[in-house]
């Protein structure tokens, strides 16, 4: 059994008794309006990553100060604002004092504690470095959250541009173009092709069929996409093509490389075997093509070949990653090379997001100006033709 802290053992046992008595009397807890009232099955519990990050950071500091882990968890839980996580932490503390290992307890919360975190904790328990491992987990989660936020930020800006362009177009077609249509019909003038097209679009957009059918089509397309993406072959096709999208594909690949190298370096540094580390990286990846590539690397390593050879088979991983891993394997400094790769690709993601944001700013102006300009020209072309005919 792993040892967690060496101080205040008697207090820890007293906490275990208190925890057990509280759990055995939920009606009393509810009547008292305590912090740990909400009960949820461990397998279905979910909590925000930011709360989990704070929990690991606080637990690491408490263990480094010499406080027993069960007592430290109770102290953390008492100050938590997330009651679901606080309740789970209290239950974990009770199981710890009963003699269970932390890693085995956390496995009962699969939606809260990811396989990577559990693997690191198992390594920390085996090596007696649980405090350092918990700090590494918090740092890893912090870096992953930062990269995820940057990626979301890069994706949100184009989405805003698209929504703005569609909103401006619909506004002009619904409220402005119909007024000109009445005027053109009263004048009986022959309309240019661009104007006729714009009037036809206005009729389509203002019809009740569009109001009912438009959202329906979007929902159907979304449903079909979801159904296709849930299949293995469909997900592979979509994820493969996503990496080929200009600008965004390279950004996604850099993000995946940063996360994978950072995670694998942390796992290897904690004493986890390379195959097990790769399996946890495979589970953590969100792209089917990256998962497949990592799986090929695992298979090759298990057959006695070098990791760099297995990862280079389908040409998905950048040559820099393959070269650095090869050097790391040859020199026995694989974790060091992975750390350097992680730092490099984090900087690449920062630079790419910054460049993409700056490039999108003038794009917003050009897109909106192009839409408005096209509609305005289409509406005023007949007037120009009439003025020309009157002068002639």
What is the tens place of the pLDDT at every residue in 338-384?
Answer: 999 999 999 999 888 888 777 777 877 888 888 888 888 888 888 77
Alpha-carbon span 272 to 259, nearest angstrom: 17
The confidence score (pLDDT) of residue 390 equals 64
Q: Residue range 312-333: average pLDDT?
A: 92
Alpha-carbon span 255 to 250, nearest angstrom: 9
The per-residue pLDDT for range 288-312, each reduced to its tens digit, is 999 999 999 999 999 999 999 989 9
The confidence score (pLDDT) of residue 192 equals 84
Alpha-carbon span 147 to 346, nearest angstrom: 7
CA distances from 266 to 63, 133, 172, 294, 335 (A): 20, 9, 54, 17, 8
Q: Of 140, 157, 141, 160, give the one whose Cα is nearest residue 354.
A: 157
Domain ranges of the chain: 9-113, 132-392
The confidence score (pLDDT) of residue 22 equals 44
**Predicted confidence band of residue 160 (pLDDT cuts 50, 70, 90):** confident
CA atoms within 13 A on the CB side of 132: 12
In sequence order, what are the residues at sequence separation of 6 or more whose Cβ sits closer than 8 angstroms to the Cβ of residue 95?
Answer: 105
The confidence score (pLDDT) of residue 189 equals 67
CATH number listed for the domain at residues 132-392: 1.20.81.30
The confidence score (pLDDT) of residue 21 equals 44
CATH class of 9-113: mainly alpha
Which of helix, strand or coil describes residue 44? helix
Answering whether pTM is above 0.75, one says no
The per-residue pLDDT for range 181-196, each reduced to its tens digit, is 888 877 776 788 888 8
Percent of the residues in the chain that have a pLDDT greater than 90, as a whole number: 35
The confidence score (pLDDT) of residue 254 equals 93
Burial class of residue 23 in the structure, from the number of CB atoms within 10 Å of its CB (0-12 exposed, 13-18 middle, 19+ buried): middle
The confidence score (pLDDT) of residue 379 equals 84
The answer on pLDDT for 157 being more than 80 is no
Estimate the crossing angle of helix 177-187 against helix 334-391, to 10 degrees.
Answer: 20
Give the least confident one: 33-42, 263-272, 374-383: 33-42
The per-residue pLDDT for range 197-229, each reduced to its tens digit, is 988 999 998 888 888 888 899 999 999 999 999
Better pLDDT: 25 or 298: 298
The confidence score (pLDDT) of residue 146 equals 86
The confidence score (pLDDT) of residue 124 equals 85
Alpha-carbon span 298 to 83, nearest angstrom: 40
b/e 175-193 (16+ beta carbons within 10 angstroms → b) = eebeebbeebeeeeeebee
The confidence score (pLDDT) of residue 212 equals 85
The confidence score (pLDDT) of residue 238 equals 95
Alpha-carbon span 278 to 294, nearest angstrom: 7
**Predicted confidence band of residue 29 (pLDDT cuts 50, 70, 90):** very low
Residue listed under structure tokens 């085996």: 126
**Predicted confidence band of residue 4 (pLDDT cuts 50, 70, 90):** low
The answer on pLDDT for 267 being more than 50 is yes
In sequence order, what are the residues at sequence separation of 6 or more whose Cβ sits closer than 8 angstroms to the Cβ of residue 258?
Answer: 147, 342, 345, 346, 348, 349
The answer on pLDDT for 30 being more than 50 is no
Alpha-carbon span 303 to 296, nearest angstrom: 11
Better pLDDT: 23 or 306: 306
In sequence order, what are the residues at sequence separation of 6 or more whose Cβ sits closer than 8 angstroms to the Cβ of residue 264?
Answer: 277, 278, 281, 338
Contact 316, 241 (CB under 8 A): no
The answer on pLDDT for 6 being more than 60 is no
Which of helix, strand or coil describes residue 67? strand
Alpha-carbon span 199 to 385, nearest angstrom: 17
The per-residue pLDDT for range 75-132, each reduced to its tens digit, is 999 989 999 999 999 999 999 999 889 999 999 999 899 888 898 898 888 888 888 8
Q: What's the mean per-residue pLDDT of the chain?
A: 83
> Which alpha helices (H) appear in the chain, and where do they start and end?
9-24, 26-32, 49-64, 69-78, 83-97, 102-106, 115-127, 130-171, 177-187, 193-206, 208-229, 232-242, 248-269, 274-284, 288-302, 307-311, 319-331, 334-391
Q: Residue range 145-165: average pLDDT?
A: 82
**Predicted confidence band of residue 316 (pLDDT cuts 50, 70, 90):** very high
Same CATH fold assignment for domains 9-113 and 132-392: yes
């Amino acid at each position: 059994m792993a040892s967690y802290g060496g101080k205040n053992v008697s207090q820890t046992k007293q906490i275990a008794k208190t925890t057990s008595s509280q759990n055995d009397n939920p009606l009393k807890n509810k009547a008292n309006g305590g912090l740990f009232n909400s009960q949820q099955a461990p397998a279905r519990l979910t909590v925000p990553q930011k709360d989990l990050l704070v929990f690991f950071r606080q637990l690491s500091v408490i263990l480094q100060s010499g406080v027993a882990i069960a007592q430290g968890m109770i102290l953390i839980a008492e100050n938590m604002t997330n009651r679901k996580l606080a309740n789970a932490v209290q239950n974990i503390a009770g199981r710890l004092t009963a003699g269970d290992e932390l890693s085995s307890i956390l496995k009962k919360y699969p939606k809260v504690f990811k396989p990577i975190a559990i693997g690191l904790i198992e390594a920390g328990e085996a090596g007696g470095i649980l405090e350092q491992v918990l700090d590494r987990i918090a740092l890893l989660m912090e870096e992953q959250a930062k990269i995820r936020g940057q990626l979301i930020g890069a994706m949100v800006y184009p989405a805003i541009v698209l929504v703005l362009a569609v909103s401006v177009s619909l506004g002009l077609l619904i409220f402005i173009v119909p007024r000109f249509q009445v005027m053109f019909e009263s004048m009986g003038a022959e309309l240019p092709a661009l104007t006729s097209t714009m009037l036809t679009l206005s009729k389509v957009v203002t019809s009740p069929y569009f109001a009912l059918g438009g959202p329906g089509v979007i929902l159907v397309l979304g449903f079909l996409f979801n159904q296709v993406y849930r299949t293995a072959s469909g997900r592979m096709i979509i994820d493969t093509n996503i990496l080929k999208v200009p600008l965004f594909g390279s950004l996604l690949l850099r993000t995946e490389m940063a996360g994978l190298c950072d995670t694998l370096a942390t796992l290897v540094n904690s004493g986890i075997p390379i195959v097990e580390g790769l399996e946890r990286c495979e589970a953590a990846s969100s792209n089917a093509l990256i998962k497949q590539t990592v799986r090929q690397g695992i298979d090759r390593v298990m057959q006695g070949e070098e990791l760099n050879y297995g990862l280079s088979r389908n040409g998905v991983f950048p040559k820099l990653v393959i070269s650095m891993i090869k050097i790391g394997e040859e020199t026995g400094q694989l974790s060091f090379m992975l750390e350097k790769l992680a730092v490099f690709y984090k900087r690449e993601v920062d630079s790419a997001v910054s460049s993409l944001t700056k490039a999108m700013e003038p794009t917003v102006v050009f897109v909106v100006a192009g839409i408005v300009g096209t509609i305005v020209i289409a509406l005023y072309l007949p007037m120009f033709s009439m003025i020309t005919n009157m002068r002639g």
